[in-house]
Amino acid sequence: MAVTAALVKELRERTGAGMMECKKALVETNGDLDAAIENLRKGGLAKADKKAGRVAAEGKIAEAQGPGKAVLVEINSETDFVAKDENFGAFADKVATAALAQDGDDVAALLATDVGGNTLEEARQTLVAKIGENIQVRRMASVSTDGVIGSYVHGGRIGVLVELEGGDEELAKDLAMHVAALNPAYARVEEIPAEVVAKEKEILVAQAADSGKPADIIEKMVEGRLRKFLAEITLVGQPFVKDGDVTVGKLLEQKGATVKGFTRLAVGEGIEKKEENFAEEVMQQVAGR
Protein backbone atom coordinates (compact mmCIF):
# COMPACT_ATOMS: atom_id res chain seq x y z
CA MET A 1 0.00 0.00 0.00
CA ALA A 2 1.33 3.42 -0.92
CA VAL A 3 2.29 5.75 1.89
CA THR A 4 0.45 8.98 1.06
CA ALA A 5 0.71 12.39 2.67
CA ALA A 6 -2.89 11.99 3.87
CA LEU A 7 -2.00 8.73 5.62
CA VAL A 8 1.00 10.33 7.29
CA LYS A 9 -1.20 13.24 8.39
CA GLU A 10 -3.80 10.89 9.89
CA LEU A 11 -1.12 8.96 11.80
CA ARG A 12 0.33 12.20 13.17
CA GLU A 13 -3.10 13.35 14.33
CA ARG A 14 -3.79 10.03 16.06
CA THR A 15 -0.41 9.62 17.75
CA GLY A 16 1.16 13.07 18.05
CA ALA A 17 4.44 11.67 16.68
CA GLY A 18 6.70 13.58 14.30
CA MET A 19 6.21 13.52 10.54
CA MET A 20 9.36 11.52 9.77
CA GLU A 21 8.61 9.00 12.53
CA CYS A 22 5.10 8.54 11.13
CA LYS A 23 6.35 8.09 7.58
CA LYS A 24 8.97 5.57 8.69
CA ALA A 25 6.40 3.58 10.70
CA LEU A 26 4.03 3.47 7.73
CA VAL A 27 6.77 2.36 5.35
CA GLU A 28 7.79 -0.42 7.76
CA THR A 29 4.18 -1.64 7.99
CA ASN A 30 3.37 -1.23 4.29
CA GLY A 31 0.82 1.48 5.01
CA ASP A 32 -1.03 -0.47 7.72
CA LEU A 33 -2.24 2.36 9.96
CA ASP A 34 -3.08 0.22 13.01
CA ALA A 35 0.26 -1.61 12.84
CA ALA A 36 2.08 1.71 12.49
CA ILE A 37 0.29 3.04 15.58
CA GLU A 38 1.35 -0.05 17.54
CA ASN A 39 4.97 0.35 16.43
CA LEU A 40 4.99 4.00 17.42
CA ARG A 41 3.56 3.16 20.82
CA LYS A 42 6.20 0.49 21.36
CA GLY A 43 8.86 2.99 20.37
CA GLY A 44 7.36 5.56 22.70
CA LEU A 45 7.45 3.09 25.58
CA ALA A 46 11.11 2.33 24.88
CA LYS A 47 11.95 6.04 24.87
CA ALA A 48 9.92 6.62 28.02
CA ASP A 49 11.72 3.78 29.80
CA LYS A 50 15.09 5.14 28.70
CA LYS A 51 14.33 8.62 30.07
CA ALA A 52 12.54 7.48 33.24
CA GLY A 53 15.65 7.70 35.42
CA ARG A 54 16.34 11.34 34.61
CA VAL A 55 15.43 14.00 37.15
CA ALA A 56 12.13 15.74 36.43
CA ALA A 57 11.80 18.57 38.95
CA GLU A 58 10.10 21.23 36.81
CA GLY A 59 6.52 21.05 35.57
CA LYS A 60 3.05 22.26 36.38
CA ILE A 61 0.32 22.07 38.99
CA ALA A 62 -3.03 21.55 37.27
CA GLU A 63 -6.42 21.92 38.94
CA ALA A 64 -9.95 20.74 38.26
CA GLN A 65 -13.11 21.41 40.24
CA GLY A 66 -16.66 20.12 40.22
CA PRO A 67 -19.64 20.07 42.61
CA GLY A 68 -18.33 19.27 46.09
CA LYS A 69 -14.88 18.23 44.89
CA ALA A 70 -11.58 19.70 43.69
CA VAL A 71 -8.24 18.15 42.75
CA LEU A 72 -4.65 19.21 42.21
CA VAL A 73 -2.12 17.17 40.24
CA GLU A 74 1.62 17.69 39.85
CA ILE A 75 3.04 16.73 36.46
CA ASN A 76 6.81 17.01 36.16
CA SER A 77 9.19 17.66 33.28
CA GLU A 78 12.96 18.04 33.18
CA THR A 79 12.95 21.69 32.11
CA ASP A 80 10.83 24.76 32.62
CA PHE A 81 10.85 25.23 28.84
CA VAL A 82 8.89 22.01 28.33
CA ALA A 83 6.60 22.84 31.27
CA LYS A 84 5.37 25.80 29.17
CA ASP A 85 4.81 23.69 26.04
CA GLU A 86 1.17 23.57 24.92
CA ASN A 87 1.24 19.79 24.49
CA PHE A 88 2.52 19.37 28.03
CA GLY A 89 -0.15 21.76 29.29
CA ALA A 90 -2.90 19.90 27.45
CA PHE A 91 -1.72 16.61 28.97
CA ALA A 92 -1.67 18.15 32.46
CA ASP A 93 -5.22 19.42 32.07
CA LYS A 94 -6.34 16.01 30.81
CA VAL A 95 -4.80 14.36 33.88
CA ALA A 96 -6.53 16.82 36.23
CA THR A 97 -9.91 16.26 34.59
CA ALA A 98 -9.51 12.50 34.91
CA ALA A 99 -8.41 12.87 38.54
CA LEU A 100 -11.62 14.73 39.35
CA ALA A 101 -13.64 11.64 38.40
CA GLN A 102 -11.48 9.28 40.47
CA ASP A 103 -11.99 8.18 44.05
CA GLY A 104 -8.86 8.55 46.16
CA ASP A 105 -5.41 9.93 45.37
CA ASP A 106 -3.76 6.85 43.82
CA VAL A 107 -1.55 7.99 40.92
CA ALA A 108 -1.13 4.45 39.55
CA ALA A 109 -4.90 4.07 39.31
CA LEU A 110 -5.13 7.49 37.70
CA LEU A 111 -2.60 6.57 35.02
CA ALA A 112 -4.59 3.43 34.23
CA THR A 113 -7.66 5.57 33.44
CA ASP A 114 -8.88 5.31 29.85
CA VAL A 115 -9.25 8.67 28.13
CA GLY A 116 -10.29 8.69 24.49
CA GLY A 117 -9.28 5.08 23.86
CA ASN A 118 -5.85 5.25 25.49
CA THR A 119 -4.77 5.17 29.11
CA LEU A 120 -3.15 8.24 30.61
CA GLU A 121 0.03 6.20 30.94
CA GLU A 122 0.02 5.55 27.19
CA ALA A 123 -0.59 9.25 26.61
CA ARG A 124 2.34 10.04 28.90
CA GLN A 125 4.63 7.68 26.99
CA THR A 126 3.58 9.22 23.69
CA LEU A 127 4.32 12.69 25.04
CA VAL A 128 7.77 11.58 26.25
CA ALA A 129 8.54 10.27 22.77
CA LYS A 130 7.30 13.47 21.15
CA ILE A 131 8.91 16.03 23.48
CA GLY A 132 12.07 14.12 24.37
CA GLU A 133 12.03 14.64 28.14
CA ASN A 134 11.16 12.53 31.14
CA ILE A 135 7.58 13.38 32.11
CA GLN A 136 5.99 12.04 35.28
CA VAL A 137 2.65 12.34 37.03
CA ARG A 138 4.10 12.66 40.51
CA ARG A 139 1.17 13.13 42.87
CA MET A 140 -2.39 14.29 43.28
CA ALA A 141 -4.48 15.67 46.12
CA SER A 142 -8.24 15.98 46.34
CA VAL A 143 -10.91 17.40 48.62
CA SER A 144 -14.50 16.14 48.72
CA THR A 145 -16.84 17.97 51.06
CA ASP A 146 -20.32 19.25 51.77
CA GLY A 147 -18.66 22.49 52.84
CA VAL A 148 -16.94 25.19 50.79
CA ILE A 149 -13.83 24.61 48.67
CA GLY A 150 -11.41 27.30 47.64
CA SER A 151 -8.77 26.61 45.00
CA TYR A 152 -5.90 28.70 43.70
CA VAL A 153 -3.00 27.97 41.36
CA HIS A 154 -0.20 30.53 41.21
CA GLY A 155 1.68 30.62 37.91
CA GLY A 156 1.26 26.88 37.46
CA ARG A 157 3.90 26.41 40.18
CA ILE A 158 1.93 26.38 43.44
CA GLY A 159 -1.54 24.93 43.95
CA VAL A 160 -3.73 25.13 47.06
CA LEU A 161 -7.07 23.69 48.12
CA VAL A 162 -8.81 25.02 51.24
CA GLU A 163 -11.86 23.44 52.83
CA LEU A 164 -14.19 25.57 54.97
CA GLU A 165 -17.25 24.96 57.05
CA GLY A 166 -19.36 28.06 56.61
CA GLY A 167 -18.19 31.13 54.75
CA ASP A 168 -18.32 31.37 50.98
CA GLU A 169 -16.23 30.65 47.87
CA GLU A 170 -14.68 34.12 47.86
CA LEU A 171 -13.37 33.66 51.40
CA ALA A 172 -12.15 30.16 50.61
CA LYS A 173 -10.25 31.39 47.53
CA ASP A 174 -8.74 34.28 49.50
CA LEU A 175 -7.46 31.80 52.07
CA ALA A 176 -6.10 29.56 49.31
CA MET A 177 -4.15 32.57 48.01
CA HIS A 178 -2.94 33.23 51.56
CA VAL A 179 -1.68 29.65 51.91
CA ALA A 180 0.08 29.89 48.54
CA ALA A 181 1.84 33.09 49.63
CA LEU A 182 2.72 32.40 53.28
CA ASN A 183 2.91 28.60 53.34
CA PRO A 184 1.68 27.81 56.88
CA ALA A 185 2.70 24.36 58.10
CA TYR A 186 -0.58 23.65 59.91
CA ALA A 187 -4.15 24.92 59.94
CA ARG A 188 -4.52 25.20 63.74
CA VAL A 189 -2.35 24.89 66.84
CA GLU A 190 -4.14 21.67 67.77
CA GLU A 191 -2.68 19.99 64.67
CA ILE A 192 0.96 20.68 65.58
CA PRO A 193 2.68 17.48 66.79
CA ALA A 194 3.65 17.55 70.47
CA GLU A 195 7.29 16.81 69.61
CA VAL A 196 7.47 19.94 67.41
CA VAL A 197 6.18 22.10 70.27
CA ALA A 198 8.52 20.42 72.79
CA LYS A 199 11.56 20.90 70.55
CA GLU A 200 10.84 24.58 69.98
CA LYS A 201 10.27 25.11 73.70
CA GLU A 202 13.60 23.42 74.44
CA ILE A 203 15.36 25.79 72.07
CA LEU A 204 13.62 28.85 73.53
CA VAL A 205 14.46 27.82 77.11
CA ALA A 206 18.12 27.43 76.15
CA GLN A 207 18.14 30.86 74.51
CA ALA A 208 16.42 32.52 77.46
CA ALA A 209 18.73 30.88 79.99
CA ASP A 210 21.62 32.96 78.65
CA SER A 211 19.78 36.16 79.47
CA GLY A 212 20.63 35.90 83.16
CA LYS A 213 17.08 36.88 84.15
CA PRO A 214 15.10 35.30 87.03
CA ALA A 215 13.35 31.96 86.43
CA ASP A 216 9.82 33.42 86.56
CA ILE A 217 10.73 36.06 83.97
CA ILE A 218 12.37 33.41 81.77
CA GLU A 219 9.20 31.30 81.95
CA LYS A 220 7.08 34.23 80.77
CA MET A 221 9.56 35.00 78.00
CA VAL A 222 9.43 31.41 76.78
CA GLU A 223 5.63 31.31 76.91
CA GLY A 224 5.37 34.51 74.87
CA ARG A 225 7.90 33.44 72.27
CA LEU A 226 6.31 30.00 71.98
CA ARG A 227 2.88 31.56 71.35
CA LYS A 228 4.44 33.74 68.65
CA PHE A 229 6.11 30.72 67.03
CA LEU A 230 2.89 28.69 67.02
CA ALA A 231 0.97 31.59 65.48
CA GLU A 232 3.57 32.01 62.74
CA ILE A 233 3.32 28.39 61.56
CA THR A 234 -0.49 28.06 61.66
CA LEU A 235 -2.96 29.41 59.14
CA VAL A 236 -5.36 30.79 61.75
CA GLY A 237 -2.55 32.52 63.65
CA GLN A 238 -1.01 34.36 60.69
CA PRO A 239 -1.92 37.94 59.74
CA PHE A 240 -4.26 37.76 56.73
CA VAL A 241 -2.29 38.39 53.54
CA LYS A 242 -4.83 40.97 52.29
CA ASP A 243 -5.14 42.78 55.63
CA GLY A 244 -2.24 42.51 58.04
CA ASP A 245 -4.27 44.09 60.84
CA VAL A 246 -6.41 40.97 61.27
CA THR A 247 -5.40 37.34 61.73
CA VAL A 248 -6.92 34.60 59.61
CA GLY A 249 -8.51 33.21 62.76
CA LYS A 250 -10.22 36.53 63.47
CA LEU A 251 -11.32 36.82 59.84
CA LEU A 252 -12.90 33.38 59.99
CA GLU A 253 -14.68 34.34 63.19
CA GLN A 254 -16.06 37.48 61.55
CA LYS A 255 -17.33 35.44 58.59
CA GLY A 256 -18.84 32.71 60.76
CA ALA A 257 -16.56 30.08 59.23
CA THR A 258 -14.00 27.52 60.33
CA VAL A 259 -11.16 26.00 58.33
CA LYS A 260 -11.32 22.21 58.13
CA GLY A 261 -7.99 21.84 56.35
CA PHE A 262 -5.84 22.73 53.37
CA THR A 263 -3.47 21.15 50.87
CA ARG A 264 -0.55 22.93 49.24
CA LEU A 265 1.52 21.50 46.37
CA ALA A 266 4.57 23.21 44.90
CA VAL A 267 6.31 21.98 41.77
CA GLY A 268 9.43 19.97 42.48
CA GLU A 269 9.40 20.31 46.27
CA GLY A 270 11.43 17.52 47.83
CA ILE A 271 13.14 16.59 44.55
CA GLU A 272 16.91 17.00 44.40
CA LYS A 273 17.53 19.05 41.30
CA LYS A 274 20.49 18.73 38.98
CA GLU A 275 22.07 22.12 38.35
CA GLU A 276 22.39 22.90 34.65
CA ASN A 277 22.84 26.15 32.84
CA PHE A 278 20.56 27.25 30.00
CA ALA A 279 23.19 26.86 27.28
CA GLU A 280 23.79 23.23 28.22
CA GLU A 281 20.05 22.64 28.34
CA VAL A 282 19.60 23.98 24.81
CA MET A 283 22.50 21.90 23.52
CA GLN A 284 20.93 18.78 24.99
CA GLN A 285 17.66 19.62 23.25
CA VAL A 286 19.46 20.17 19.94
CA ALA A 287 21.33 16.88 20.34
CA GLY A 288 17.95 15.15 20.40
CA ARG A 289 18.60 13.33 23.64
**H or E stretch including 175?**
helix 169-182
Burial status of residue 157 (CB atoms within 10 A of its CB: 0-12, 13-18, 19 or more): middle
Which domain-ending residue is among 144, 179, 213? 144
CATH code at position 102 = 3.30.479.20
Full pLDDT tens readout for the chain, 289 residues: 678 888 888 877 666 666 777 788 888 888 888 888 777 666 654 444 444 456 667 999 999 999 999 999 999 998 889 889 999 999 999 999 999 999 889 999 999 999 988 899 989 888 888 888 889 999 999 999 999 999 999 999 999 999 999 999 999 999 999 999 999 999 999 999 999 999 998 888 888 887 777 878 888 888 999 999 999 999 999 999 999 999 999 999 999 999 999 999 999 888 776 555 555 655 555 555 4
How far, in Å, are 57, 72, 226 from residue 267 at the CA level? 7, 11, 31
CATH number of 35's domain? 1.10.8.10
Please report whether residue 152 resides in a domain: no
- Do 63 and 24 lie in one domain? The reply is no
Same domain, 64 and 131: yes
Examine residue 209 and state whether it is found in any structural domain, yes or no: yes
In a domain, 122, yes or no: yes
Distance CA 153, CA 35 (A): 41
Domain that holds residue 10: 5-51
Number of domains in the chain: 3
Length of the chain, in residues: 289
pLDDT value for 130: 82
pLDDT at residue 46, as a whole number: 40
Of the residues 112, 144, 176, which one is the last residue of a structural domain? Answer: 144
| C-alpha to C-alpha distance for 97 and 94, rounded to whole angstroms | 5
State whether 73 and 139 are in the same domain: yes
In a domain, 162, yes or no: no
Q: pTM of the predicted model, to two decimals? A: 0.75
**CA 161/CA 149 separation, integer angstroms:** 7
Do 43 and 61 reside in the same domain of the chain? Answer: no
Considering the domain architecture, whether residues 93 and 134 belong to the same structural domain is answered as yes
We report the CATH number of the domain holding residue 238 as 1.10.286.20
